[in-house]
């Protein structure tokens, strides 16, 4: 059994698809920080700023 059935990957009415979309956004942020070569402290500051809206949207 798949959490997201094949063909439903873009159906945002399904909670599993919504969860994956939020996780993907968070991982994209982390990849961008790494590509920019930010230090740990810089990444922490950016994470607190950039990821807060994503997490808040997920918890609503």
The encoded tokens of residue 9 equal: 């990957």
Cα gap 52→58, rounded to integer Å: 10
* Residue pair 26/54 in contact by the 8 Å Cβ criterion: yes
Structure tokens at 44: 């922490």
* Distances in whole angstroms, Cα of residue 46 to Cα of each of 2, 25, 31, 32: 34, 14, 12, 10
Task: List the pLDDT tens digit at each of the 60 positions of the chain.
Answer: 466 666 666 777 788 888 888 889 999 999 999 999 999 999 999 999 998 888 888 777
Instruction: Identify which of 57, 51, 44 has the alpha carbon closest to the alpha carbon of residue 25.
Output: 51
pTM above 0.75, yes or no: no
pLDDT of 1: 46
């Amino acid at each position: 059994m798949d959490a997201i059935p094949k063909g439903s990957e873009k159906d945002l009415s399904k909670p599993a698809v919504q969860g994956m979309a939020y996780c993907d956004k968070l991982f994209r942020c982390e990849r961008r920080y790494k590509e920019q070569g930010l230090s740990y402290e810089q990444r922490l500051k950016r994470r607190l700023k950039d990821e807060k809206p994503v997490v808040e949207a997920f918890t609503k």
